Structures are given as structure tokens and as C-alpha cells.
Structure 1
């Protein structure tokens, strides 16, 4: 089952708390695009897109969309004062140079070691890997936002990924509708649960070895 709009927005709201002043941040397609609407206006940050914007803003009001302004997923966006435009070669140069502080991506699977599989399901049509491999390898911090389970109820956080990998040990953090995990030194640590879920709910729907932090907090 897919996530409802309210739940998707709560995941995005939690992810936005990881963005701090002065960061250059890339937002992937799907739930990550929603993060732009929850970044504090007090922060001086720059949102980067693979299609060539540095200084992207949040979503425009309905009826105020600009057909020439979109993120890498093709959805309408706004820009902030001082934003710049450039070609995709420059956009990827920024990524490959390691200038992104954070990238926030979706995923199909993540392993307990932080391996990420997010670009293809074998046998299914796919438009291409986009910037996933470059982003997951080169950003200083990689945050994954995704459903905790697939539409059949199978865990998406697993011991070993069964799908083709995007990067090995690339994830630093995973945020789902149920929990927040940190990935470090090949271990998966449960740091927070999302209200109304419990630690037991999270562990029973996770297909990986999980270390439960001594002080698991609740995100409302």
C-alpha cells in the first residue's frame, strides 16, 4: 500500500529537521521533493537540482506555476533570490565534486549496512538511473525516505538487498512512516519511532538486525 498524503508530509517534515544553516542540499524524486516545503525560512540554505538550479524554493501556490521552472522530477517549483541556472553538466559537476552537504533520496530497499537499491526493479521499465548513483556516492550525508514495507507488506529494510545496488554502505539515515534509523559502521540503530508506532511494531516489520538506542524518542 502506498502512503497517504499526510504520512508522506510527516516524513518530509522530519527529514527537514536534518537540514541546518549554510547547507547545499539535493532533493530526490517522490517524498524528498516535499522536504522543500518544511525547511525553516530562517535558514540560509541552497537547494540543488540535477536539471540545473541552485537556489530552488518550495512549491508554488496553485495557479502560480511557471512552466519553465521545475525540479528534476518535472514538478513545478519556485526559486529564491540569488538563485542560478546552469546546464546538467554543471549540475552533475557540483555533485561529483562532493559539494553537496546532504542528498535526500527515495529507495526500493536499504540493507542494515546502508547499501541502497533505488534505481531499477529487474524486468520493469525504467527511464534511467538519473543522478541516483552520483548523489548516493558523493554527497556528504545521504538520507533515505521511503515506505517501511512494500505493497505486499514485505520489509524494505533488509539484511541484504535483493535488487541491483545503487551504492554500497551509502545511507547515513533512513526515515519511514514508522521510524528513524541511523546507519553507521555497518550497523542499523533505531533512534526514533513515529507516533503511533511502537518499538515492537518497527522491529516486527523490519527485515534486518536492529540495535535499539537506549533512548528511543517519539516523533509526533
Structure 2
């Protein structure tokens, strides 16, 4: 059972608040690709895709797509004035050199230590770990957007990952359909609840232990 568009957009909208003017931001596939649609007009950002675009803008309207212009997932994108194109070697040069302020990724699980497990889907053929390993190691800040539970209702915010880990101890912030967590040296910190969600719901659906930020106390 997939998440509805409204919930996906709610998560993307909350993620957009983490972005500041002038940043270089890489967007993963899935919910992260919705983030440009939720940026305020006064925030100017360079969105990077590892297939070789810097300066992506919002999703083009139906009929206005450019067949040659897509993001890393192959979906149509638009570009802002001053955008540039390059090969994927240069795209990864930017990533490895630490030029990205934020990478926003999807994940299958995140542990309370910030371990990222997002590359192997049980029972599915996957092409490999891809850019997630590089992005999650080298970006200055790693934000994960995902549903709080999997299709079986199991928590994706876990004590330790049961799926193969992409990169250990790399995630800074997790934003789900229920809550926003920050990962600190002391473990998971619940920063805020999503609209209409109770603390009890988050406790019930989260396998990993967490503490409350001062806003709750």
C-alpha cells in the first residue's frame, strides 16, 4: 500500500523548510523529487542531480516536458536560468569533493544511530548501491524522507537495520508522515509531530527509543 500524494507532499513540504538560500542540494528519487515544488519564491537553490544537472526547478506541467531533460530517476524536470549540464563523472566529482550542502534521500530503514539502509529491496533485483553511498558519506547534511512504517506496518525507524546498510552513522534528520527526528550523539530526538499526529501514535509506531526535544517538555 503506497502513500497518497497528499502525504508524500506533506513530507516534501516539511523537508523544504530545511533548505536555506544559496544551498546546493541533491535530491534522491521518490518523495525527495517533490521538494522543489514546495520552496518559497524567495529561496534560490541549486538542485543537483547526479545524472548531470545543476539548477533544476519544479516539475514541468503536462505537455511542457523536454524529452532531453530529466532527473536521476528519469522523470522530466525544468531548469532555472543559469542551470548547467555536465557528465556524471563531474556530478560525482562535486559530490565527492563535499560541495553538496544537503542530500535528501529516501530509505527503507534508518537506525537510531543514523545508519542508512536504502539500496537493497528484499525480493527485487536492484542495479546496485549507486550514488546513495557517495551522497550519504560526503554531503554536509543528510535528510531522509520516508513513510514511518513499511507495507506490513513495521517501523522503518529501527534500533538496528535488518537490511544491508548503505552508510553507517550518516543521517542527520528523518522526516516521515508521522514525525521529524534529529539524530544526535545521544540517539534519536523527536523534534516535532506532523499535523494531526499524537505522541502516542509515534511511540506505538517507532521501534527505536527516542527522547523528546525541549519543545515537548
* TM-score range for the pair, normalised by the shorter chain length: over 0.9
Partner of 1:43: 43
Partner of 1:56: 56
RMSD between aligned alpha carbons?
1.2
Partner of 2:203: 203
Displacement after TM superposition at 1:186 (Å): 4.6
Partner of 1:162: 162
Q: Distance in 2 between matches of 1:84 and 1:214?
A: 43
User: Which runs of structure 2 are paired with 1:177-192 in the superposition (5 Å)?
Assistant: 177-192=177-192
Gaps (5+ residues) in structure 2?
none
User: What per-residue deviation string (whole Å, max 9, x for no partner) do you get for residues 10-58 of structure 1?
Assistant: 0000000000011000000000000011112212210000000011111
Partner of 2:107: 107
User: What per-residue deviation string (whole Å, max 9, x for no partner) do you get for residues 151-197 of structure 1?
Assistant: 00000000000111011111000000000000011510001101211
Displacement after TM superposition at 1:94 (Å): 0.3
User: Which runs of structure 2 are paired with 1:64-79 in the superposition (5 Å)?
Assistant: 64-79=64-79
Q: Distance in 2 between matches of 1:187 and 1:215?
A: 17
User: Which runs of structure 2 are paired with 1:68-147 in the superposition (5 Å)?
Assistant: 68-147=68-147
User: Which runs of structure 2 are paired with 1:7-26 in the superposition (5 Å)?
Assistant: 7-26=7-26
Q: Distance in 2 between matches of 1:119 and 1:157?
A: 16
TM-score by length of 2: 0.97
Q: Distance in 2 between matches of 1:70 and 1:51?
A: 8
From the superposition, tell whether residues 61 and 123 of structure 1 become closer, same or farther in structure 2 (CA, over 3 Å): closer
From the superposition, tell whether residues 138 and 186 of structure 1 become closer, same or farther in structure 2 (CA, over 3 Å): farther
Displacement after TM superposition at 1:122 (Å): 4.3
Gaps (5+ residues) in structure 1?
none
- Please say if 1:215 is aligned against 2:180: no
CA contact (8 A) 1:114 1:186 kept: no
Displacement after TM superposition at 1:123 (Å): 4.1
Q: Distance in 2 between matches of 1:63 and 1:129?
A: 33
Moved over 2 A (4+): 121-124
Question: 1:77 is paired with a residue of what secondary structure?
Answer: coil
User: What per-residue deviation string (whole Å, max 9, x for no partner) do you get for residues 102-131 of structure 1?
Assistant: 000000000001000000034421122221
CA contact (8 A) 1:112 1:186 kept: no
How many corresponding residue pairs? 217
Q: Distance in 2 between matches of 1:152 and 1:90?
A: 40
Q: Distance in 1 between matches of 2:142 and 2:22?
A: 17
